[in-house]
Every structure is written in C-alpha cells, then in structure tokens.
Amino acid sequence: MKEKYYIIACHVLWREICHHASVSKNIFYIKFLRQGLHNTPEILRKELQQAIDAVDGEYPVILIGYGLCSNGIEGISAKKSKLVIMRGHDCITFFLGSKSRYKSYFDEHPGTYWYTPGWIDTGTQPGKERYENLLQSYIEKYGEENAEYLMEMEQGWFKEYNNAAYIDTGVVDGTDYKNYTKECTEWLNWNYDELVGDSGLLKDFLEGNWDSERFLVAEPGQKIKASHDDNIIHAE
C-alpha cells in the first residue's frame, strides 16, 4: 500500500534521499534545509520547527532527516502529525547504516572528519580550497595582517582531526569525490580512509519500517529530547 510522507531533511542527504525515494512504492514531498545549521543549534531548531508547523496536520507522518545534530532537534514537536526520526547523533548514521557501526568506527578512529558526495556538494570541506577561499574573504574584509591571525584561529580546530573517511553511498559515480577527498587529506597531512555506505537504514526510514531500536516515532504533542544513552533521543 502506498503511503504519502512529508520529509524535512538536511541538504547533505539530498542525493541519497532523492535516489531511494524515486524507487520507493511510497509518495514523498520533500523540503531540504540548508547545510550547516547544526553549527548553530538554536537556528536549526527554529527553522526545523517552522518547516514542521508549515505542514503540520496535512500529512499523518513527517519524516525528519536529521540526527540529534548538536542537540539542534531538541524541543521540536508537531501538534497533529507524528514525527519519525532515526536514532543517531548526526547524518553519518544514515550513510553508514547503523549507530553501532558509526560508534565502532569512531571508537577506533576518534579524529575522523567525514566526507560524502552531499557534504562535498553543499559546502567546502577542510582542505586547500577551503583555506584559500576563506583567506581571500578575510583579506577583503579585514586586511592581510588581521586575515593571517584569523586563519590561525580558524585552523586551530583542524588539530583535533587526523583521519578523513570518505563514504561511498553508491548513488553517484564517486571517482571525482574520492579524488577531491584525497587531495584534501594530502594537503592537511591526514590519513585517507574509504568506507562502503549502507543504505538499509535510509531505505527503512522511507519505507515505513520503523522499529523502536533504530527509530523514534513521536506522537502529536510530544517533544523530542536527548536521552543521553544508547537510544540517543526520546519523546515526552
């Protein structure tokens, strides 16, 4: 039986969601929010809630294509529709197929920065291109001397990473994306790793296979909260 679902998701998932939605038996209406909102969780929460409010009640179920995302989805709710959210800290869980696989890799490679086609498409990833673009922007705004200082501050967080992991999600020819990631890692002097993605979690998200181990189904009126345990999120 065909179902009609409304999806609100981060734009980094656009390739994978559109690909799998196109071959699903279900019918989807999709709204993608701009990439990077997780950097300002309060803005993510505001824009996500506005997107929910705009269609609340028009669809029995709204699929939320986000993880906890720096607690940016905490507090969201719908008055008339159910919300379905995968149990994950961020979108990488969708790409890898499970929160356990994500955790296992992170435990073994704690200084990992993730690269996927969607992440590369929607924003400049750490590497030479990002450095040069940002430096030029700072020079134009603040002058060369101030720009050098700002770049030193901006590059400081790179020290937390030493490994770049490219996830091949299988929905697009990954040759150029892999080469781009390798170029970034060479410039950054990071290790390069490559993983084969697992679309099972995303497919079940779209098909309505929402077991409680992997998904949270919030009833109308319930708010999403961080659970601070293996479930990651809960509704109350």
Each residue's pLDDT tens digit, 47-103: 999 999 999 999 999 999 999 999 999 999 999 999 999 999 999 999 999 999 999
Residue 8 has what pLDDT?
A: 98
Distance CA 193, CA 185 (A): 10
Distance CA 186, CA 190 (A): 6
Q: What's the whole-number mean pLDDT along residues 147-155?
A: 69
Residue 135 has what pLDDT?
A: 61
Q: What's the whole-number mean pLDDT along residues 17-46?
A: 95
Residue 144 has what pLDDT?
A: 76
**Strand duo 61-65 + 82-86: pairing:** parallel
Residue in this structure with the two tokens 């040069």, named with its chain if needed: 132
Distance CA 7, CA 229 (A): 26
Residue 208 has what pLDDT?
A: 97
Length of the chain: 236
Residue 127 has what pLDDT?
A: 63
Distance CA 234, CA 218 (A): 8
Q: Are 84 and 73 in contact (CB under 8 A)?
A: no
- Percent with pLDDT over 90 in the chain: 78
pLDDT tier at 36, thresholds 50, 70, 90: confident
Residue 72 has what pLDDT?
A: 96
pLDDT tier at 146, thresholds 50, 70, 90: confident
Q: Are 73 and 48 in contact (CB under 8 A)?
A: yes
Distance CA 125, CA 117 (A): 11
- C-alpha dihedral sign at 79, 81, 87, 89: negative
Residue 148 has what pLDDT?
A: 73
Give the contacts of 80 (CB within 8 A, at least 6 positions apart).
Answer: 56, 57, 220
Q: Is the pLDDT of residue 147 over 70?
A: no
Which of 203, 206, 185, 207 is CA-nearest to residue 194? Answer: 185
Angle CA(81)–CA(83)–CA(89) in degrees, nearest 5?
165
Residue 124 has what pLDDT?
A: 67
Residue 143 has what pLDDT?
A: 81
Element containing residue 188 per DSSP (H, E)? helix 175-188
Residue 218 has what pLDDT?
A: 98
Q: What's the whole-number mean pLDDT along residues 115-128?
A: 81
Residue 142 has what pLDDT?
A: 76
Distance CA 233, CA 212 (A): 11
How high is the mean pLDDT of the chain? Answer: 92
Task: Using the CB atoms, write b or e for 189-228: b if 16+ within 10 Å.
Answer: ebebbebebbbebbbbbbebebeeebbbebeeebebbeee
Coil, helix or strand at residue 202: helix
